[in-house]
Chain A
């Protein structure tokens, strides 16, 4: 409880921003009470308001699942597509219109299972977008099936005796991809950290992968319970170039200074299972961004026709 109280206090401090944030909400989210998606939506609204993003120049793209309903609740353009395929759509949008701000919301099944191929390659393309992977360790919308991130032994409708495999770690996987440029982890029960992480993700020019740990009140309500009850089981990664929320110092005693430029340390930390780690694992703003390296000069229609006519000369009889 103490952790929640402190986080809420932190939100209160920004209440003015919260008011404007509501302008970015199109309609109330239709998730279950207590769903972690609400926390993500609140943080997103605050971020949009803080950045004063133009609603018509902002696109939220999603796949299928509880968290993929996200775009319906945001007062911007939205693309609620098909299961696992949000990233190719978002890549296409970014290639076509680099000036648009693109956000992607995906669940753990969406991103790390059916969409796993796209996740790996979108990481490598490094198109400039904020990618929120809302990870509740379960398939919620289809009612309680094991996902790749379900903890080993955790029972579901498809694994009644408990998940048979060790959970897939999305951070390890993302950090293993060439050209990965931003990898962070945060949690729905630490809203201040969630917001600060989103802000950093937005500021990063490139593919900002944020794993948001969250509870599904129906099927994985207890999955992070011990971390919520005992903040000492969580270690915050802090650095002047990373995410560091001063107000969290009191609650989270375990703090590790980690330079997010250091990929080897980032990978080593992602591999360790002794503690839950929140913070920025890796960030490199200098890596090539796909829509920038693929940018080509605009050609007028008249010039195109002239060039194509010239092209025909190659084939002329």
Chain B
């Protein structure tokens, strides 16, 4: 396999493949991958993509820290996560490739289409780096194919950095027999804001790549495409959330730029005005919360979108919204923390701060979509909850969902999700602004413009009249009523669905975006005969009901999360001092079950194989514990 010598082409039938496109930042890996991923999806393959992005726009090139790229896993069936390792890589230099090798991202027999120019570079330093990199990678059986990306791109464009990516796309199109007409449409869409000749040049580059591959490569892969029966759409989680926001009736999105949440507002900014709404870019994160709260107070469906550091800044305003019972949806696209942390990378470390992040008692709903599809529907659900319960609803997605591209059933829209006319009916005499139903804590929402409803909302402790009150019983009542709404909401939830049997040796519990990888890992363990099941929580505040009962049917319960927990046995880590993963902490407190956890914060999505290995380790240690 490799460069074509005999004229023979070998086509291998495979159920799925994982491809990495790895380049310097600024060489267009994302565009190449977006188009390739979308093309696979449109041809009827399951797809999941993951971005590899540095936080800088264009860090110094040709280093192990300048890697920008994308991983595309696609196959015949449904693909729910990025899998374990890549089987084919497009690499524009040896150093970015080396960075992926060091992360153990490439399969032992990975095919690597490496830029040919560096081996014999005129620059002695580059040659030395190349030799050392190849030496280091010789521990694996990678199969290298040298490709003159730059030389070929230069035949069509003046700047190879604006062309190599599309040439590489051509290679992939030929290797995987992709439909050129779909690729052409995708290119036209991506460059829709540029002059038409940009699209033409890019298509020319793709065709050059295809021609080069036909001429030089003797291997092809065939992945069966099985068109889905229902209509499907393909997008990333931030796009899904943005469209979900519009479907939910949002007419004002107040935001401040922050990675990885910003692309939600990019999507909204492009289209929301066609839906009678606007994106308001505030002077800061605090003001974004304030504008959204002001708009919601005045009766508009409003949203604010942010990531961890922005959540921290919005803290006081969210408590105000909770205190005055103004409905508000907050989308937090989590990234690595604390502080500035890992701006472009995934983590699930905002769970506890999202639930408990306010001084004082500030109950709110926290929910976590588990798939790209749920990023869409969660926005609709969140808005409904926020308005029904006059509540703050925090939707926690993460960088994995935000930038991961996948496909899902095209949603059936409902006009009732949209906002009707703002209620301006007169307030019956005697109705108080917080006329709490003492059973449910619910009260009628009064909106400016309603005659007879004049009152002043206040973040101070207040009574039913919304009058400032420091009376002990009035404060106790307000706190109780705001909390009661959460209990009432929980009564509307169903217990989580169990993947696998209802009882067994181990129940793996996850939340949010890790669902695909966990289900894959648990599936492998079950194939090996292990009695393992899993459930993935979508509601974290309040928790879904029935957990204690479910947990009681398993010998052990273990969470899998992308956040920090102490490793037992580490220096100074004792039974007394051990810090647990955030969901584990929550579940231990709520169920009094001795919930274990395996967590990791590598700044990338979890691999099914790592989860699998830790499932097995947990099963073994539980067995030992039971035997002892």
Residues of chain A touching chain B, judged by Cβ–Cβ distance below 8 Å, are 26, 55-57, 59-61, 64, 71-72, 75-82, 85, 87-97, 100, 117-118, 120-121, 294, 296-299, 301-302, 304-305, 307-309, 311-312, 314-317
Q: Which of A87, A311, A317 lies in contact with B228, CB distance below 8 A?
A: A317
- Distance of A315 Cα from B418 Cα, bound (Å): 22
A275 to chain B, nearest CB (A): 34
- Given contact pairs A79-B297, A317-B407, A97 touches B448 in the complex (Cβ within 8 A): yes
B40, closest chain A residue (CB): A317
- Could you jot down 10 A-B contacts, CB within 8 Å? A26-B454, A77-B448, A79-B456, A91-B280, A92-B290, A95-B280, A298-B276, A301-B419, A312-B243, A317-B231
Interface residues of B, CB < 8 Å — how many? 74
Does B137 reach chain A (CB closer than 8 Å)? no
Inter-subunit contact B300/A311 (CB<8 Å): no
Q: Closest B-chain residue to A68, C-beta based?
A: B458
Question: For residue A93, which residues in chain B have a CB less than 8 angstroms away from its CB?
Answer: 294-295, 297-298, 448
Provide the residues of chain A in CB contact with B291, threshold 8 Å: 88-89, 91-92, 95
Tell me, yes or no, whether B543 is within 8 Å of chain A by CB. Answer: no
Q: Are B298 and A100 in contact (CB under 8 A)?
A: yes
Indicate if B386 sits at the interface (CB-CB under 8 A).
no
* A316 CA / B410 CA spacing, docked (Å): 8
CB-CB contacts below 8 Å: B415-441 with A = 415-416, 418-420, 422
Contact B290 A89 (CB under 8 A): yes
Distance (Å) between the CB of A120 and the closest chain B CB?
A: 8
Instruction: Please list the residues of chain B having a beta carbon within 8 angstroms of any beta carbon in chain A.
Output: 41-42, 44, 189, 228, 231-235, 239, 243, 246-247, 249, 251-252, 254, 271, 273-278, 280, 282-284, 286-300, 302, 316-317, 320, 407, 410-411, 413-416, 418-420, 422, 448-460, 467-468
Min CB gap A290→B, angstroms: 9
Given contacts A85-B317, A100-B449, A298-B276, 8 further A-B contacts (CB under 8 A): A81-B290, A92-B252, A92-B294, A92-B302, A118-B286, A301-B249, A301-B415, A311-B243
Contacts of B455 in A (CB 8 A): 77-78
Question: Interface majority SS on B: helix, strand, loop or mixed?
Answer: mixed
- Say how far A302's CB is from chain B's closest CB, in angstroms: 6
Known: A89-B294, A91-B291, A96-B252. A308 touches B247 (CB 8 A): yes
B residues near A299, Cβ cutoff 8 Å = 274-276
Contacts of B42 in A (CB 8 A): 316-317
> What's the nearest-Cβ distance from chain B to residue A94, in Å?
8
- Residues of A close to B234: CB separation below 8 A: 315, 317
Which chain B positions have C-beta within 8 A of A301?
A: 249, 415-416, 418-420
Which B residue sits closest to A70, measured CB to CB? B456
Give the residue name and chain of the A residue nearest to B467 (CB). A72
Complex Cα gap A38–B274 (Å): 47
> Complex: how many Å from CA A86 to CA B559?
43
CA distance A296 to B457 in the complex (A): 29
Contact of B460 among A80, A95, A100, A117 (CB under 8 A): A80
User: Once the chains are docked, how many angstroms separate the CA of A64 from the CA of B295?
Assistant: 20
What CA separation (Å) do A298 and B300 show in the bound complex?
Answer: 12
Q: Of A60, A88, A309, A315, which one neighbours B413 at CB under 8 angstroms?
A: A309
Residue pair A95, B453 in contact (C-beta under 8 Å): no
- Our pick among A61, A75, A82, A315 for the contact of B320 (Cβ within 8 Å) is A82
B295 close to A92 (CB less than 8 A) = yes
Residue in contact with A118 in the complex, picked from B283, B300, B320, CB distance below 8 Å: B283
Residue of A nearest to B254 (CB): A92
Instruction: Give the complex CA separation of A299 and B415 in angstroms.
Output: 12
Contacts of B467 in A (CB 8 A): 72
Pair B273/A88 contact, Cβ less than 8 Å: no
B294 touches A56 (CB 8 A): no
B459: contacting residue among A26, A76, A82, A88, CB under 8 A = A82
B454 touches A55 (CB 8 A): yes
Contact between chains at B410 and A294 (CB < 8 Å) = no
Q: Given the known A-B contacts A60-B456, A72-B458, are A92 and B415 also in contact in the complex, defined by CB atoms under 8 Å?
A: no
Closest to B451 in A: A56
Q: Of B44, B251, B302, which one neighbours A317 at CB under 8 angstroms?
A: B44
Q: How far is the CA of A93 from the CA of B293 in the complex (A)?
A: 8
A307 and B275 form a contact (CB under 8 A): yes
Q: How far is the CA of A82 from the CA of B321 in the complex (A)?
A: 10
What are the residues of chain B within 8 A of A57 when measuring CB–CB? Answer: 448-449
Among A77, A82, A308, the residue within 8 A (CB) of B456 is: A77
Q: Is the CB of B275 within 8 A of A304?
A: yes
Closest CB-CB distance, A282 to chain B, in whole Å?
A: 22
CB pair A314 B189 closer than 8 Å? yes
Min CB–CB distance B182 → chain A (angstroms): 10
Q: Which residue of B has the minimal Cβ distance to A27?
A: B467
Could you say which residues of chain A place their CB within 8 Å of the CB of B458? 72, 80
Q: A82-B316, A308-B243 are in contact. Are A88 and B276 (CB under 8 A)?
A: no
- In the bound assembly, the distance between CA atoms of A61 and B291 in angstroms comes to 12
Residue pair A317, B233 in contact (C-beta under 8 Å):
yes
A305 touches B450 (CB 8 A): no
Q: Do A71 and B456 have beta carbons less than 8 Å apart?
A: yes
User: Is A294 in contact with B454, judged by CB distance below 8 angstroms?
Assistant: no
Give Cα A79 to B454, complex, Å. 11
Evaluate contact between A100 and B448: CB separation under 8 angstroms: yes
**Closest Cβ of chain B: how far from A52's Cβ, in Å?**
15
What residue in chain A is nearest B415 (Cβ atoms)? Answer: A301
B300 near A96: Cβ-Cβ < 8 Å: yes
Q: Which of B232, B276, B294 contacts A296 (CB 8 A)?
A: B276
Complex A-B, nearest 3 residue pairs according to Cβ-Cβ distance, in ascending order = A92-B294, A88-B290, A78-B456
A173 and B394 CA atoms in complex are apart in Å by 37
Determine if A96 and B298 form an interchain contact, defined as CB atoms under 8 angstroms apart: yes
Which residues of A are found within 8 Å of B293, using beta-carbon distances? 89, 92
